[in-house]
Amino acid sequence: MSQASSKKGFGFYVILAAALAALASGIYFLSIHGTFGLDSTHNGDCYDPLITWLLIGGALIAAGFTFLKRYGLASAVTAIVPGAALCLFVHKCYWYVVDVFVGIDEKHGFDPRFITFAVLILAAFVIGEVAVYVKKTKNA
């Protein structure tokens, strides 16, 4: 009888990286309170608490599933939750992006906080998608 020992594969670390990216983007979005641009009009306010709690909660749930060795569920959470948060973020910040592109805020362009958060949430989404397709354990 052979015993199959399962060691952590590359996918395990990808799941953790996706959860960490989602957690970092959620905390960052909460800390800047979703306000972008130099004006304090409603177009620069893209805060939605659902985005923050989706990212932070999804990261914690994915970490919990990983701890319980439910890697399939963890990778699904890291793929779906940042995607949903990204869709809500795009919906919420539509007018800010339009203002920059149309030229209402052309002197200033995109706020560095907006770019930082967009990179963080896109990284969480892409890494989460990768986590679905890579092998989570090595069988020896």
Give the chain's length.
Answer: 140
Q: Identify whether 17 is part of a domain.
A: yes
Neighbours of 107 (CB within 10 A): 7
What is the amino acid identity at position 84?
A: A
Q: Is the pLDDT of residue 44 over 90?
A: no
Cα(7)–Cα(131) distance, integer angstroms: 16
| Global pTM value | 0.83
Q: Identify whether 110 is part of a domain.
A: yes
Tens of pLDDT, residue by residue over 53-106, are 999 999 999 999 999 989 889 999 999 999 999 999 999 888 878 877 777 655
Contacts of 13 (CB under 8 A, 6+ apart): none
Q: Which residue has the tokens 């306010």?
A: 45
Q: How many domains does the chain have?
A: 1
Percent of the chain with pLDDT over 70: 84
Structural domain that includes position 112: 10-33+42-133
Q: Identify whether 97 is part of a domain.
A: yes
Instruction: Over range 25-32, report the average pLDDT.
Output: 92
Specify burial of residue 76 (Cβ count, 10 A radius: 0-12, 13-18, 19+). middle
Q: Identify whether 4 is part of a domain.
A: no
Q: Identify whether 139 is part of a domain.
A: no
Q: Identify whether 109 is part of a domain.
A: yes
Q: Identify whether 138 is part of a domain.
A: no
Contacts of 131 (CB under 8 A, 6+ apart): 11, 14, 15, 17, 18, 74, 75, 78, 79
